[in-house]
Amino acid sequence: MGTQEEVSLSELLKKIEKHSLTAYEIAKNTGFSSVGIQKIIDGDTKKPSRKTVSSIYEYVKNEYEGGKSYTTVVENQNSDNLNVQNFKNLPIGDQMVLLLHEVNSLRNQLHEQTNMYNQNTAKIIEFVEEYLKPVFDYMKLNTIDKKKEIK
């Protein structure tokens, strides 16, 4: 039958095939690279890490076979009430999903802040052009006139 690693790898490959999953789909939701997953699927990586195999296996099992959904784990484990000890007690796959969720959340917040910053910058520029340009033009003309008077 082989070692536990080989059994887990063969079970993982069966589950991936059963659900017609692509390396991209798995990578998108687990944090592993699609290239690395594809090498495992193709058999190019003969002995992938036991943690990698078990994390991907747990993801596939939970997400596609009616186990607790990873999205449910993310929704139920709000980062505000998730302490370090609870986080460490979660399976590695759940930890990765939570971290991925946090990264995506931060990325979205950054994107929103960037958009707001750009909008505010545009408003400031419009304000300056509309209300302060005449003042600057007057000051410029006044300065030029004073220079002419001095000469």
Q: pLDDT, tens digit, for every residue of 13-25?
A: 988 888 888 988 8
**Residue 97 per-residue DSSP state:** H
Phi, psi of 67 (to 5 degrees): -70, -175
35, with CB counted inside 10 A (0-12, 13-18, 19+), is exposed
CATH 1.10.260 for the 1-68 domain, yes or no: yes
The radius of gyration computed from the CA coordinates of the chain, to the nearest angstrom, equals 28
Q: Is the pLDDT of residue 71 over 50?
A: no
Model confidence at 30, in pLDDT bands (50, 70, 90)? confident
Cα torsion 47, 51, 53, 54: sign: positive
pTM: 0.42
Q: Provide mean pLDDT across the span 47-71.
A: 75
- CA 35 to chain CA centroid, Å, is 18
State pLDDT tens for residues 98-129.
888 888 889 989 999 999 999 999 999 998 88
Is residue 58 packed enough to be buried (19+ CB in 10 Å), middle (13-18) or exposed (0-12)? buried
